[in-house]
A and B are shown apart, each in its own frame.
Chain A
Amino acid sequence: MTKTIELRVYGMTCDDCAKHVSSGLKNLNGVKEVSVSLKDGIAHIRATDTANSNDLIKLDVFKGQYRAQVRSVKND
């Protein structure tokens, strides 16, 4: 089973930022797919059931310029 987590990501100002956030999000075990929208400041993450959404926002990528908050978690 997988789930889709929506994060509100703050602090992204350019395409590079979105790429940076996207690759940072892949550092959590269980993350399968990431898509980041610079325009909306939103990231969608498809992950296995074992991945904890609150661990996503504690990843290193969110300790500097970018900050994130979990907006929703839906089972696929």
Chain B
Amino acid sequence: MTEYDLAIIGWGAAGFAAAIKASELTSNQMKIALIGTGELGGTCVNVGCVPSKFLIEASKNYKEAKSPAYAGITSSATLDFSEFMESLNQFVSGERETKYTSVMKNFENIDLIEGLAKFIDNDTISVNNTELKATNFIIATGSRTFIPEVRGLTDYYTSDTVWKMRKLPGKLAVIGSGEVALELAYAFSNFGSEVHIFNRSNRILKGFDDDVNSQLMAALKSNGIVFHLGVNFYEIKNEEGKKDIVTWTGTFGDFDEIIVATGRMPNIDGLDLRAGGITADNGIVVNPDFRTTNPKIYAAGDCVRQSLKLETLAGKEGVIAVENILGGDRRINMQEVPWVVFTEPNVASVGYTEAELKKKHIEYDVRTVELKNVVKANILNSYTGIAKIISGKDKKILGIHVIAPMAAEFITEGVYLIKNGLTYDDLIDTIHVFPTVAESIKITGQAFIRDISKMSCCMD
């Protein structure tokens, strides 16, 4: 039986990050098995972050080209959706090749083993009926789309399959209202589809304060998206290629396609975790050091019991699991993890929300500034949005939440502020570039000390 120093189950972001870090830290002397199924790189590069952001950017480009935002500029743009989707798939293959397949060629110490793994006992797994032992394990099996039980829901796309679509739907139903649902709905509405979002709950996105959510919803509505929230749909009728969504309040008909994006669930059912002595409860239960209930076995990424499911977090957890296997004592402060919804405007967030602080009975101050106070946002004709900063009574910044164009590109400023325990005085004292949308963070900081309507540009 082959014995490894480290067996990693799952070759997505967490698994790759762990395998490479373990190789680096041991001068490629650690003998590693990297086990997985499907395309190398897992969700993010193949069916997640990469294609979805390509789709969004292209859809923005098309929409802007069709209707330029500035006076005196007219244009006409046409769309060959099928050709565009081919190019998206080629882009994905290219990224997979450079960021995953080629990278692996540098590591002779890593064996790629294709197949589904499951535990036999606490230091043995089987892959394709072959047993494999290791001194250490990291489970990094990710998550998959959750499909709700709805009568007649048989012909639909998910974020795994939508990349195969070649005909732009005239009328599209998106079921779900989390970040994946909103991003896909936004992109298709830019391309010109009539998009309807259906969700049983009456809110969008989890983990944001209501003011942030309502700003985003207003922006998406003005992009043409129709929301049906708090709607209990119980049947899908397929007739002559068209789909009707039957709800308690009526039937919404004539959809060309349905995308189901009702959340994700951890990929743990086939692993026989019990045989490995590992506890799971809606995800693998880990200590703050990412060790599972079996001290030899760590877990990282989307398969872990945690609410945030992010490429960056998965990669970081893979790295930290390896460092801890090799004697480290690293953890992640979830308040320092930024996350973004890549609609336009972007929603970008790091740290506590007001709701979380209230729940913890932590006193705070909060300032919210509308984007119309930010010159660059006005230049971009982007008026929907806010920047919101929450500080402790000691002025330390506890949370930053921004709805603004390009907020994904500058939310990292908030990460540094929170990670280093900095105050809004430190933020105000830092010269920002003018004119930028990023300046919205500084202006919101200034709102703690003065009435910003009585302030000229670029003053501290």
Of residues 1 through 59 on chain B, the ones whose CB sits less than 8 Å from some CB of chain A are 5, 25-27, 29-30
Q: Are the CB atoms of A67 and B326 closer together than 8 Å? A: yes
Q: Mark B303-346, 1 if CB is under 8 A from A, else 0.
A: 00000000000000000000001110000000000000000000
What residue of chain A has the Cβ atom nearest to residue B323's Cβ? A67
Q: Mark A45-76, 1 if CB is under 8 A from B, else 0.
A: 00000000010011000100101110100000
Q: Are the CB atoms of B327 and A10 closer together than 8 Å? A: no
Q: Are the CB atoms of A11 and B326 closer together than 8 Å? A: no
Interface size class of A (residues with CB under 8 A): 10 to 19
- Cβ of B420 < 8 Å from any Cβ of A? no
Q: Are the CB atoms of B135 and A10 closer together than 8 Å? A: no
B30 neighbours in A (Cβ, 8 Å):
10
What residue of chain B has the Cβ atom nearest to residue A70's Cβ? B327
Given A69-B135, A71-B135: A10 in contact with B325 (beta carbons within 8 A)? no
Q: Which of B25, B135, B325, B326 has the most CB of A within 10 A?
A: B326
A24 CB to nearest B CB, Å: 13
Given the complex of chains A and B, what is the CA–CA distance between A58 and B136 in angstroms?
Answer: 18
Interface size on B, residues (CB 8 A): 11
Q: Are the CB atoms of B26 and A67 closer together than 8 Å? A: yes
- Given B27, B136, B325, B327, which contacts A62 in the complex, CB threshold below 8 Å? B327
- Cβ of A44 < 8 Å from any Cβ of B? no
A67 neighbours in B (Cβ, 8 Å):
25-26, 326-327
- Given A8, A57, A65, which contacts B5 in the complex, CB threshold below 8 Å? A8
Given the complex of chains A and B, what is the CA–CA distance between A62 and B25 in angstroms?
Answer: 10
B25 neighbours in A (Cβ, 8 Å):
10-11, 67
B5 neighbours in A (Cβ, 8 Å):
8
B27 neighbours in A (Cβ, 8 Å):
10-11, 13, 65
Q: Are the CB atoms of B327 and A11 closer together than 8 Å? A: no
Given the complex of chains A and B, what is the CA–CA distance between A13 and B27 in angstroms?
Answer: 9
- Given B29, B135, B136, B325, which contacts A11 in the complex, CB threshold below 8 Å? B29
Given A11-B26, A13-B27, A41-B29: A68 in contact with B135 (beta carbons within 8 A)? no
A69 neighbours in B (Cβ, 8 Å):
135-136, 325-327
Given the complex of chains A and B, what is the CA–CA distance between A63 and B235 in angstroms?
Answer: 60
Q: Are the CB atoms of B29 and A68 closer together than 8 Å? A: no
Q: Are the CB atoms of A58 and B29 closer together than 8 Å? A: no
A54 CB to nearest B CB, Å: 7
Given the complex of chains A and B, what is the CA–CA distance between A10 and B32 in angstroms?
Answer: 13
Given A8-B5, A71-B135: A54 in contact with B29 (beta carbons within 8 A)? no
A35 CB to nearest B CB, Å: 19
B26 neighbours in A (Cβ, 8 Å):
10-11, 67
Given the complex of chains A and B, what is the CA–CA distance between A10 and B135 in angstroms?
Answer: 14
What residue of chain A has the Cβ atom nearest to residue B23's Cβ? A10
- Given A13, A68, A71, which contacts B326 in the complex, CB threshold below 8 Å? A68
A54 neighbours in B (Cβ, 8 Å):
327
Q: Mark A9-51, 1 if CB is under 8 A from B, else 0.
A: 0110100000000000000000000000000010000000000
What residue of chain A has the Cβ atom nearest to residue B27's Cβ? A11
A8 neighbours in B (Cβ, 8 Å):
5, 135
A10 neighbours in B (Cβ, 8 Å):
25-27, 29-30, 326
Given the complex of chains A and B, what is the CA–CA distance between A71 and B29 in angstroms?
Answer: 16
Q: Mark B400-437, 1 if CB is under 8 A from A, else 0.
A: 00000000000000000000000000000000000000
Given the complex of chains A and B, what is the CA–CA distance between A61 and B5 in angstroms?
Answer: 21
A45 CB to nearest B CB, Å: 15
Given the complex of chains A and B, what is the CA–CA distance between A58 and B233 in angstroms?
Answer: 57
Given the complex of chains A and B, what is the CA–CA distance between A66 and B30 in angstroms?
Answer: 12
Given the complex of chains A and B, what is the CA–CA distance between A54 and B29 in angstroms?
Answer: 21
Given the complex of chains A and B, what is the CA–CA distance between A62 and B26 in angstroms?
Answer: 10
Given A10-B29, A57-B326, A69-B327, 11 more A-B residue pairs with CB atoms under 8 Å apart are A8-B5, A10-B30, A11-B26, A11-B27, A11-B29, A41-B29, A65-B27, A67-B25, A67-B26, A68-B326, A69-B325
Can you show 26 pairs from A to B with CB atoms below 8 A apart? A8-B5, A8-B135, A10-B25, A10-B26, A10-B27, A10-B29, A10-B30, A10-B326, A11-B25, A11-B26, A11-B27, A11-B29, A13-B27, A41-B29, A54-B327, A57-B326, A58-B327, A62-B327, A65-B27, A67-B26, A67-B326, A68-B326, A68-B327, A69-B136, A69-B325, A69-B327
Closest 7 CB pairs of A and B: A10-B26, A57-B327, A67-B326, A11-B27, A10-B29, A67-B25, A67-B26
